[in-house]
Amino acid sequence: MPVHPPPATFLETGPTGPLSLDSAFYIERPPVETFAYAAIARPGSLLRIKAPKQMGKSSLLMRVIEQAHQQGAKTGKIDFLQAEKTCFASLDTLLRWFCHLTARQLGIAPNLDDWWDEEIGSKVSCTLYFENHLLRRLDTPLVLVINEINRVFEHEEVAGDFLSLLRFWHEQGQRSPVWQNLRLVLAYCTEVYVPLQLEQSPFNVGQQLKLPPFTTAQVQELAARYQVPQQLGEAYVPFIDELMSLVGGHPYLTHAVLAQVPDTAADPQDLLNQAMQPSGVWGEYLRRGYASVRHQPDLIDTLQQLVKAPHGLKLPLHLAYQLENVGLVHYDGDRYRLSCELFKRFLVAELAGPEAPAPIQLQQENQRLKQLAHTDALTQIPNRLAFDIRLQIAWQRMSQTQEPLTLMMCDIDYFKAYNDNYGHLAGDQCLRQVASILQAQMGTAPDFVARFGGEEFAVILPRTDLLTAEKRAETLRSQISLQTAQGEMPPVTISIGGAVASTPTNQSTRQLIEAADRVLYESKRLGRDRVTIISLL
C-alpha cells in the first residue's frame, strides 16, 4: 500500500465522522469487508453488525452500501438517530415513519393510506406495504440498512413488535421470491436487552459481524499513511507500543492521535500525555462519554467496581446497555470490561475526586506497570510478550522499507545437564549472565533481545543482511564462551540459528520464527556451540 500524503485539513481536525469512500485513511480489517459484501449478496439475508460507538460502523456501512450498488441492488438507509422521540409514541407511528422514509429513499411516492388498515393492525399493514408497494415495484434486490437500531431498545412498548416484524420478514425471505429481494443490515452498538422470545428475535438469525479493534499491524499501516515512521524515527516503535497499550486499537482514538503527529514537534510520550489532558484530542471523547453517566449513582457505582475488576463483571442488562451505548464498556465472553486502558486511567482520576493523581502521574505509574508486564522476572530483559510486539513492528517496517530483517534464536547448550549437576540456583544465575551478555552485545536500538522461553533467547536485528548477521552471531557465540569462562560458575556455550527475511511476500513472522528455530536445531545436531544462518527467499 503506498503512503498517501494526508490532507492538511484532516491533520488539523482528525477524524470527525465517517471516512469517505476515497479516503486514504480507511483501514480494512479482514475478513470484515469480505464477509459483509458476501452477506448482502445472498437472497433474503440478514446481516447484524455490532460495535461500540466510533469503532468504524458508519465508515463500513458506507462501503456496504457502495458494494450493494456495484452488485446492482437498490439501497435504503434508515438511521434511528434521525428519529424524533414522537416517532416511538406507538407502534403504528413508528412503522408509518419507517415505511415513509424507506419509500422516499427509493423514489417511490409513500401513499401510506392506500395500504394502512387499522382493522388488520400496523404490523400486517406494514408487511403488505413493503411487499406490494415497495418490493414488487423493484426489479432488483433491496439492501436496507437500519443503523442505530439499539435506539429502539429504549422503547420497550414498541421494541418487541418492531423487532419481531424484522424477524418475520427475514423468515419470509427463506421461502418467498418477493421477500428474497430484501436484504437487511442491522447496525447497533450494544447487547440486546429487550426481552424477546427466541423465535421472535432478529438477533439470533442471519449472520453476525462484530467489528474488532485494529490489530498492531493495522495501526502500523495507518501510521504509515500519516507518515508517522518518518516523523518519529527510532521513537516510532515504542510510540506504537504505548499507543496500543493505551487504546487497544480503538479506531477513533488511534486516528485522533496519529493525525497530530505530522503537525507537532512534541516528544512522542509528551504527545500521548497531552492527548489525555482535558484539552487534548482524547479529552473531549472521554468527557462526553462520562458526562452522560456521571449523575446516575448506579452507573457510577458500576464503573467503580469495573475499575477494580481486571477480569470484568457480569452486569444487569439495563446498566450494561447504558455504559456500552456510550462506549465505556464492551462485552467479552460472559462479562463486561472497560473498553481500554485509557478509559480506566480516566475513570480512576474522575472517580477519586479532586485528590486524584494527575494524568501524567497516572501515566508514569502505568508505564512502570507496563514495563513489568513486558519484562522477564528472572533475567530482567524483555519477555516473550514484548518480543511478539517488537517482531510484528519490525516486520511491518521491513515490509515498508524492503530492508532485510534477521531473527536469531540462541539456546544454551546442555542446560538441563547444567541444572542437574549444579542446581537450579546456579541455573538461574547462568540465565542471568547469558542474558546480560546478550543485552550488552545485541541490545542497542534498533536491535532487540528477549527471553523467548526456558534457556532460549531471541535477537531481532532490523536492517541486517546475511553476511552481517553471520559475523555478529559468531562474535556473540565467542563472547558467551569467553565471558562465562571468566566467572566463578562453570562456563557454557550457545548454539545459534538465524533466518534473514527481505520481503514479506508469501512469508509471515510465524514462518520467520519457525525457520530460525529449524536452523537452531541444525546447529545443535551438528555438535552445538556453532552458528547457522539462512536466507528466506
Which residues are known catalytic residues? 455
Task: Name the nearest CA neighbour of 9 among 262, 267, 214, 251.
Answer: 262
Task: Name the nearest CA neighbour of 49 among 58, 319, 73.
Answer: 58
CATH fold of 384-535: Alpha-Beta Plaits (3.30.70)
How many secondary structure helices (H) and strands (E) does the chain include?
Answer: 23, 12
Average pLDDT of 448-459? 95
| Alpha-carbon span 101 to 99, nearest angstrom | 6
For residue 277, the SS3 value is coil
How many other β-carbons are positioned within 10 Å of the β-carbon of residue 161? Answer: 16
The fraction of the chain above a pLDDT of 90, given in percent, is 64
| Alpha-carbon span 520 to 498, nearest angstrom | 7
Average pLDDT of 258-269? 81
Indicate if the pLDDT at residue 292 is higher than 70. Answer: yes
Question: 471 near 482, Cβ under 8 Å?
Answer: no
145-169, pLDDT tens digit by residue? 999 999 999 899 999 999 999 999 9
| Alpha-carbon span 518 to 521, nearest angstrom | 5
Integer CA distances (angstroms), 162 to 77, 168, 179, 201, in order: 17, 10, 17, 10
The fraction of the chain above a pLDDT of 70, given in percent, is 92
Cell of 219: 495501526
| Alpha-carbon span 411 to 429, nearest angstrom | 15
Question: 463 near 446, Cβ under 8 Å?
Answer: yes
Cell of 181: 429481494
Q: Which helix (H) or strand (E) holds 382?
A: none
Place of cell 418490493: 135
Task: Name the nearest CA neighbour of 59 among 85, 35, 87, 25.
Answer: 25
**DSSP bridge partners of 331:** 336
Question: 134 near 102, Cβ under 8 Å?
Answer: yes
Buried b (16+ CB within 10 A) or exposed e, 70-91: eeebbbbbbbbeebeeebbeeb
| Alpha-carbon span 381 to 386, nearest angstrom | 10
Cβ-Cβ contacts under 8 Å for 215 (sequence gap 6 or more): 29, 249
Average pLDDT of 306-334? 88
Question: 272 near 242, Cβ under 8 Å?
Answer: yes
Question: 104 near 110, Cβ under 8 Å?
Answer: yes
27-55, pLDDT tens digit by residue? 999 999 999 999 999 999 999 999 988 99
266-285, pLDDT tens digit by residue? 778 888 888 888 888 898 88
Question: 435 near 388, Cβ under 8 Å?
Answer: no
Helices (H), 259-326: 268-276, 283-291, 297-307, 317-325
Domain positions in the chain are 8-12+213-281, 30-210, 285-373, 384-535
Q: What pLDDT, on a 0 to 100 scale, did the predictor assign at position 2?
A: 34
Could you tell me which residue, 245 or 444, shows the higher pLDDT? Answer: 245
**DSSP bridge partners of 46:** 184
- Cα pseudo-dihedral 98, 101, 105, 106, rounded to 10: 60
Surface-to-core class of residue 261, CB atoms within 10 Å of its CB (0-12 exposed, 13-18 middle, 19+ buried): buried
How many other β-carbons are positioned within 10 Å of the β-carbon of residue 109? Answer: 9
Q: What pLDDT, on a 0 to 100 scale, did the predictor assign at position 370?
A: 58
Indicate if the pLDDT at residue 291 is higher than 60. Answer: yes
How many other β-carbons are positioned within 10 Å of the β-carbon of residue 387? Answer: 25
Query: Given pLDDT bands bounded at 50, 70 and 90, which one contains residue 8?
Result: very low
| Alpha-carbon span 93 to 116, nearest angstrom | 12
What are the φ and ψ backbone dihedral angles of 530, each rounded to 5 degrees? -150, 170
State whether the Cα torsion 420-426-431-433 is positive or negative: negative
Question: 170 near 181, Cβ under 8 Å?
Answer: no
Amino acid (one-letter) located at 153: F
Q: Which CATH architecture has domain 30-210?
A: 3-Layer(aba) Sandwich (3.40)
Buried b (16+ CB within 10 A) or exposed e, 408-433: bbbbbbebeebbeeeeeeebebbbeb
Q: What pLDDT, on a 0 to 100 scale, did the predictor assign at position 333?
A: 80
Q: What pLDDT, on a 0 to 100 scale, did the predictor assign at position 9?
A: 32
Question: 277 near 359, Cβ under 8 Å?
Answer: yes
Biggest alpha carbon–alpha carbon distance for the chain: 98
Q: What pLDDT, on a 0 to 100 scale, did the predictor assign at position 231?
A: 85
Average pLDDT of 378-393? 88
Q: What pLDDT, on a 0 to 100 scale, did the predictor assign at position 368?
A: 55
Output the pTM of the full model: 0.66
- Cα pseudo-dihedral 210, 215, 221, 222, rounded to 10: 60
90-145, pLDDT tens digit by residue? 999 999 999 999 999 999 999 999 999 999 999 999 999 999 999 999 999 999 99
Could you tell me which residue, 3 or 164, shows the higher pLDDT? Answer: 164
Q: What pLDDT, on a 0 to 100 scale, did the predictor assign at position 221?
A: 95
Q: What pLDDT, on a 0 to 100 scale, did the predictor assign at position 245?
A: 92
User: In sequence order, what DSSP letters do the residues of 496-527 get, joined into one string?
Assistant: EEEEEES--TT--HHHHHHHHHHHHHHHHHTT
